[in-house]
Amino acid sequence: MDTTFDELIDSYLATNVGIVKNFLSPLLSAHLVDNINALYKDDRLLSAGTGNNLIINHDKLIRNDKIYWLDRLHNNSHENDFFDLMDSFISHLNRTCYTGITGYEFHYTLYETGSYYKRHLDNFKQNGTRAFSMIMYLNTSVDGGSLRIYQGNNSQDITPNAGKSVFFKSNELEHEVLVTHLPRMSITGWLKTGDQSYFNHEH
């Protein structure tokens, strides 16, 4: 996987937006989609909000996606395979780029047909521990739902194809999720500094 990790890091260093097509294997992506579908069927996905743990705003005019936090304590083998992959990536990132990442948090994200997330920045004013944002897409069929990232007067649209990962600084680049015309699934999260829960994040 080091070649894939390097491709993601190199594209980030070149453009401030790292993109790699095959970060997740097709098999792992399929298993994670099955997990999301099961959670959705059991009504366990929660409406996402904006803000931090102390101040959460559930304004569906800003975002109307649904989420479910991942945790090793779930003892789900496919989630744990994902965490193992992230542990390897962070070790590689810290070793090659001296980023000092010490923790992470990730959740499943489901955008139902017609859903979106308006332009925003990922970092909290009250908490600056989020260093990098990462999205791993799970969709095999795509219609809308692109990630639009803004850099100055320019913007870049990234299609949410299965296996693709996107990586950028949380406190620098505003972005939005455009309206999706099919259910759009991903794992979304943040690599953190100053967090002692690295490798065993509990949420």
Question: What percent of the chain lies above the pLDDT cut of 90?
Answer: 77
Q: Give the angle subtended at the CA of 111 by the CAs of 108 and 117, to the nearest 5°.
A: 100
- Enter the CATH code of domain 2-52+59-192: 2.60.120.620
Region of 47 please: left (phi>0), alpha (psi -120 to 50) or beta.
beta
Query: Is 90 exceeded by the pLDDT of residue 95?
Result: yes
Can you give the pLDDT at residue 199? 39
The string of pLDDT tens digits covering residues 109-135 is 999 999 999 998 877 554 568 899 999
The string of pLDDT tens digits covering residues 82-94 is 999 999 999 999 9
**Strand-pair category, 154-158 with 103-111:** unpaired
Average pLDDT score over residue span 126-150: 90
Can you give the pLDDT at residue 48? 72
Query: Is 60 exceeded by the pLDDT of residue 57?
Result: no
CA distance 193 to 128: 8
3-state secondary structure string across 18-50: EEECCCCCHHHHHHHHHHHHHHHHCCCCEECCE
User: How many angstroms from the chain centroid is the CA of residue 146?
Assistant: 13
CA distance 22 to 149: 20
**Whether this model's pTM surpasses 0.85:** yes
Can you give the pLDDT at residue 47? 86
C-alpha atoms less than 13 angstroms from C-alpha of 165 in its C-beta half-sphere: 28
110 Cβ contact list (under 8 Å, min separation 6): 36, 40, 45, 65, 66, 67, 183, 184, 185
Query: Is 50 exceeded by the pLDDT of residue 53?
Result: no
3-state secondary structure (DSSP) of residue 51 = strand
Question: What percent of the chain lies above the pLDDT cut of 70?
Answer: 86
Average pLDDT score over residue span 68-85: 96
Q: pLDDT-derived band of residue 150, with 50, 70 and 90 as boundaries?
A: very high
Name the helix (H) or strand (E) containing 109: strand 103-111
